[in-house]
Homo-oligomer: A and B are copies of this chain.
């Protein structure tokens, strides 16, 4: 069976067009938008909880949560104090701009400083999809191994920052944060790299300063 359907390039092109519309909306509102990409369980949601907690009273964050099923993550983020919307993708392996657009209709972003989009846990497929963000940020969990940037280079190439999480586990695993940092910079020398433990709070200051600097740059120049 053969039917006439648009080729894939058209789907991603339509996505990019909509992403650019969203980007213009965000720019008009001076909102910094980040797209968090990681394997399942790398700690994206815990990083969000810590970030919301630490910026409480200083910046207003909103969160768009992507997961195949459940609203576990949106509930955790809401409990941490940020307005959140959950997108369930079902068998969909990444978020698309149209999903972000739909989520925005249910999220009160008036007065928001930052929107963080937590993508579906998948280190590959979200990489090629523009969501209107200012920057993609990879969360890399140390126990996943320090060779991940070499084996999954796309996400590290597309990102502006990498948060190496779970460094508190370094004494118990063979992976080394320094080696992960080096491998990430081999793939993309322009990456900002932060070594953190969302469990203990170690290293979060650098990440938060980067986020503040991005927001200020966006307000000054229109791009994060």
Contact = CB atoms under 8 A, between A and B. Distances in A.
B151 A166 contact: no
A99 to B, nearest CB: 16
Contacts of A121: 39, 123, 151-152
A40 interface: yes
Contact of A91 (B93, B124, B145): B124
Contacts of A221: none
Contacts of A1: 6-7, 9-10
What size tier do the contact residues of chain A reach? 35 or more
A40 B148 contact: yes
Contacts of A68: 124, 151-154
A53 interface: no
A141 B142 CA distance: 12
A12 to B, nearest CB: 12
A100 to B, nearest CB: 19
B41 A124 contact: no
A217 interface: no
A111 interface: no
A69 B150 contact: yes
Interface centre among A40, A42, A148, by most chain B C-beta atoms within 10 angstroms, is A40
Given A2-B6, A4-B3, A41-B143, A125 B123 contact: no
A24 interface: no
Given A68-B153, A120-B124, A168-B172, 8 more contacts: A4-B4, A39-B121, A40-B144, A41-B141, A68-B154, A93-B93, A122-B124, A169-B173
